[in-house]
Amino acid sequence: MKFLTAVVVVDIQKDFTTAYKGSLAVNGTDQTYLKSASEATKKLKGVGLPIYATQDWHPADHVSFASNHKGKKHLETITLEDGRTQILWTDHCVQGTEGAKLLLDEKLFAGIVKKGTNSKYDSYSGFQDDGGAKTVLDKTLKSTGIKNLIVYGIATDYCIKFTVLDGMAAGYDVTVIRDLTPEIAPDTAKAAWAEMEKKGAAIWPSLDMAKVKKLL
**Which residues pair with residue 174 across a beta bridge?**
149
Q: Model confidence at 2, in pLDDT bands (50, 70, 90)? A: confident
Of 180, 156, 150, nearest to 45 (Cα)? 150
56 belongs to the catalytic site: no
pLDDT (average), residues 86-103: 98
Q: Which of 11, 56, 129, 157 is catalytic?
A: 11
Domain ranges, ordered by start, for the chain: 5-56+104-215
Q: CA separation (Å) from 162 to 29, 104, 168?
A: 20, 22, 10
Instruction: Provide the mean pLDDT of the chain.
Output: 97
Q: How far is CA 89 from the centre of its chain?
A: 16
11 belongs to the catalytic site: yes
**For 5-56+104-215, which CATH superfamily applies?**
Isochorismatase-like (3.40.50.850)
Residue 3's pLDDT is 82
pLDDT of 96-146, one tens digit each?
999 999 999 999 999 999 999 999 999 999 999 999 999 999 999 999 999
pLDDT of 12-39, one tens digit each?
999 999 999 999 999 999 999 999 999 9
State pTM to two decimals: 0.97
Q: Which of 14, 93, 114, 115 is catalytic?
A: 115
Q: Is 38 helix (H, G, I), strand (E, B) or coil?
A: helix
CB 194 within 8 A of CB 187: no
Q: Is the dihedral of CA 133, 128, 10, 175 positive or negative?
A: negative
Q: Which of 14, 159, 161, 166 is catalytic?
A: 159
Residue 1's pLDDT is 63
